[in-house]
Structure 1
């Protein structure tokens, strides 16, 4: 029986799994978005979010702990210098998983995993959505604005003809 054994081993030994998650976490920190399978992304989220949370406090101890997991000094400096500044006020949920469908070869579920504050496309969409908000009661005002514009067009055409 496997009562209370909810850990996904991902078909690997402990050493292989730790090395894989360390490499994926370093890639996620350096590139801000990676493409992988859904099971690996969920395992990576559980692996990397405590490290990002640890990076909020920039001390020698926290840097050593994070380096023990990542084993990549460039990823550690990126995490503590840039990412920790952006996520300083966020209480959790530093990563987002976006499903992209199934892989052709083996039909595995694939997805993107990305850092939440680094997706420029979604940040631009939020800014445009706020700017384009209108009310229904202003339809008459927009019709009045469009009517004088239509009357000005023939006048400009006459001036161009002269």
Structure 2
């Protein structure tokens, strides 16, 4: 049962959802803006803010966490 879950699944499997959000985050940081639906944008906002916070820390642990999520070293 879905009692009090914060994450939305957008009718996708969890692996596909994570990949979709990681790709959208990469596109946002590469191009500065993206075109998407409002619910996806709201879900993406918290992830992008978390990646920005990791970038501000700047230590190696934060870089590794960002690379693990976004899977693209050029963006990090």
* 1:1-162 → structure 2 map (5 Å cutoff): 2-76=2-76
Quickly say closer, same or farther: Cα 1:11–1:61, change in 2 above 3 A: same
- Partner of 2:57, secondary structure, is coil
Paired position in structure 2 for 1:108: none
- Partner of 1:18, secondary structure, is helix
Distance 1:55 1:62 in 2: 7
Structure 2 runs not aligned, ≥5 long = none
Quickly say closer, same or farther: Cα 1:8–1:60, change in 2 above 3 A: same
Moved over 4 A (4+): none
Structure 1 runs not aligned, ≥5 long = 77-162
Distance 2:34 2:48 in 1: 13
Distance 2:7 2:67 in 1: 24
Structure holding more strand per residue = 1
Distance 1:2 1:35 in 2: 29
TM-score by length of 1: 0.45
- Partner of 2:56, secondary structure, is coil
Paired position in structure 2 for 1:102: none
Structure with higher RCO (Cα < 8 A, 6+ apart)? 2
